Amino acid sequence: MEHTLLYIIVALGISIVINIILKKLGISQIIGYILTGTLIVYAFDLREVGHSHELEMVGEFGIVFLMFTIGLEISLAKMGTMKKEIFGNGFLQVGVTSVITYLIAHYLFTLDNVSAVIVSLAFSLSSTAVVLSYLKSSKEIYTPYGQNATGILIFQDIAVIPILILIGFLTNEGDESITTILMYTMGSAVVVIGILFVVGKPLVTWLLHFSASSDLDELFMGSVLFIVVGASLFAYYMGFTYSLGAFVAGMVIAETKYHHKVEADIAPFKDILLGTFFVVVGMKIDLGMFVQNIGLIVGFFALVLVLKTIIIFTLLRLSYTASTSLKTALALSQVGEFSFVIFALASSGGIMSDELVSLLVLIVIFSMMVTPFFISHINEMVEKFIKEKDVAVDMSALDGRSNHVVVCGYSVVGKFVTQHLEELDAPYVVVDNSNKHVKEALEDGMEAYLGDASKHSILSALHIEKAAAIIVTLDNIEKKRLICEAVLKYSKNANLIVKVISLEEKEKLKDLAVTTVVDAKLEIARVLVERMLTCQLRYK
Residue range 104-146, pLDDT digits in tens: 999 999 998 889 989 999 999 998 878 887 887 776 776 778 8
Contact partners, residue 161, CB within 8 Å, separation at least 6: 185, 189, 239, 240, 241, 244
Cα 428-431-434 angle, rounded to 5 deg = 150
Nearest to 190 by CA among 256, 239, 251: 239
- Of the two residues 50 and 170, the one the predictor is more confident about is 170
Asked whether 468 and 403 are in contact (CB, 8 A), the reply is: yes
Give the per-residue pLDDT at 61: 73
Question: Chain-wide mean pLDDT for the chain?
Answer: 81
Nearest to 123 by CA among 284, 300, 281: 300
- Return d(Cα 271, Cα 277) in angstroms, integer: 10
Strands, E, within 169-292: which ranges?
none
Residue 306, pLDDT above cutoff 90 = yes
**Mean pLDDT computed over 345-366:** 84
Left, alpha or beta for 400 (phi > 0: left; psi -120 to 50: alpha)? left
Asked whether 496 and 514 are in contact (CB, 8 A), the reply is: yes
Q: Edge to edge, what strands does the sheet with 516-519 contain?
A: 448-450, 428-432, 405-408, 469-472, 496-500, 516-519
- In this prediction, residue 390 has a pLDDT band, given cuts at 50, 70 and 90, of very low
Q: What's the whole-model pTM score?
A: 0.67
Count Cβ atoms below 10 Å from residue 365 Cβ, excluding itself: 26
Contact partners, residue 442, CB within 8 Å, separation at least 6: 391, 392, 448
- Return d(Cα 154, Cα 66) in angstroms, integer: 12
- Return d(Cα 435, Cα 142) in angstroms, integer: 14
Would you state the torsion angle of the CA atoms of residues 69, 70, 75, 77, taken in this order, to the nearest 10 degrees? 160
Count Cβ atoms below 10 Å from residue 511 Cβ, excluding itself: 9
Residue 93, pLDDT above cutoff 60 = yes
Asked whether 509 and 482 are in contact (CB, 8 A), the reply is: no
Give the per-residue pLDDT at 172: 62
Give the per-residue pLDDT at 126: 92
Most confident of 6-10, 66-70, 308-312, 476-480: 308-312
Residue 4, pLDDT above cutoff 80 = no
Contact partners, residue 536, CB within 8 Å, separation at least 6: none
Asked whether 446 and 415 are in contact (CB, 8 A), the reply is: no
**Could you give the angle at which helices 322-331 and 378-385 cross, rounded to 10 degrees?**
140
Give the per-residue pLDDT at 152: 92
E strand or H helix at 430: strand 428-432
The ranges of the chain annotated as CATH 3.40.50.720 are 396-534
- Of the two residues 367 and 199, the one the predictor is more confident about is 367
**Mean pLDDT computed over 350-378:** 85
Half-sphere exposure of 90 (CA within 13 A, CB side): 21
Asked whether 378 and 396 are in contact (CB, 8 A), the reply is: no
- Look up the CATH number of domain 47-381: 1.20.1530.20
- Of the two residues 326 and 383, the one the predictor is more confident about is 326
CB-neighbour burial class of residue 171 (10 A; exposed 0-12, middle 13-18, buried 19+): middle
- Return d(Cα 518, Cα 173) in angstroms, integer: 65
- Look up the CATH number of domain 396-534: 3.40.50.720
- Of the two residues 66 and 148, the one the predictor is more confident about is 148
Most confident of 38-52, 112-126, 152-166, 514-528: 112-126
Residue 183, pLDDT above cutoff 80 = no
Give the per-residue pLDDT at 433: 83
- Return d(Cα 203, Cα 181) in angstroms, integer: 31
Residue 476, pLDDT above cutoff 80 = yes
Is residue 465 helix, strand or coil?
Answer: helix
E strand or H helix at 496: strand 496-500
Half-sphere exposure of 169 (CA within 13 A, CB side): 19
Residue 383, pLDDT above cutoff 70 = yes
- Return d(Cα 107, Cα 58) in angstroms, integer: 39
Residue 412, pLDDT above cutoff 90 = no
- Return d(Cα 490, Cα 516) in angstroms, integer: 18
Cα 337-333-165 angle, rounded to 5 deg = 45
Asked whether 498 and 516 are in contact (CB, 8 A), the reply is: yes
111-120, 270-279, 492-501: the lowest-pLDDT one: 270-279
**Mean pLDDT computed over 78-94:** 83
Give the per-residue pLDDT at 304: 93
> Per residue in 227-271, pLDDT tens?
888 888 887 777 676 777 888 888 888 877 777 778 777 777 767
Residue 69, pLDDT above cutoff 80 = no
> Per residue in 215-237, pLDDT tens?
777 888 888 888 888 888 887 77
CB-neighbour burial class of residue 225 (10 A; exposed 0-12, middle 13-18, buried 19+): middle
- Return d(Cα 339, Cα 284) in angstroms, integer: 13
Give the per-residue pLDDT at 323: 84
- Give one DSSP letter per residue of 141-166, joined into a string: GGSHHHHHHHHHHHHHHHHHHHHHHH
Contact partners, residue 46, CB within 8 Å, separation at least 6: 7, 40, 283
Residue type, 312: I
3-state helix vs strand vs coil in the chain, percent to 5? 70, 5, 25
Could you say which DSSP state residue 453 is in?
T
> Per residue in 424-449, pLDDT tens?
888 899 998 887 788 888 878 788 88
Residue 264 phi/psi, 5-degree rounding, is -70, -40
Give the per-residue pLDDT at 56: 65
Tell me the percentage of the chain whose pLDDT exceeds 70.
86
- In this prediction, residue 313 has a pLDDT band, given cuts at 50, 70 and 90, of very high
- Of the two residues 81 and 430, the one the predictor is more confident about is 430
The ranges of the chain annotated as CATH 1.20.1530.20 are 47-381
Asked whether 446 and 430 are in contact (CB, 8 A), the reply is: yes
- Return d(Cα 98, Cα 118) in angstroms, integer: 9
Count Cβ atoms below 10 Å from residue 13 Cβ, excluding itself: 11
- Return d(Cα 110, Cα 119) in angstroms, integer: 12
Chain-centroid distance of CA 151 in Å reads 8
Residue 339, pLDDT above cutoff 80 = yes
CB-neighbour burial class of residue 58 (10 A; exposed 0-12, middle 13-18, buried 19+): middle
- In this prediction, residue 388 has a pLDDT band, given cuts at 50, 70 and 90, of low
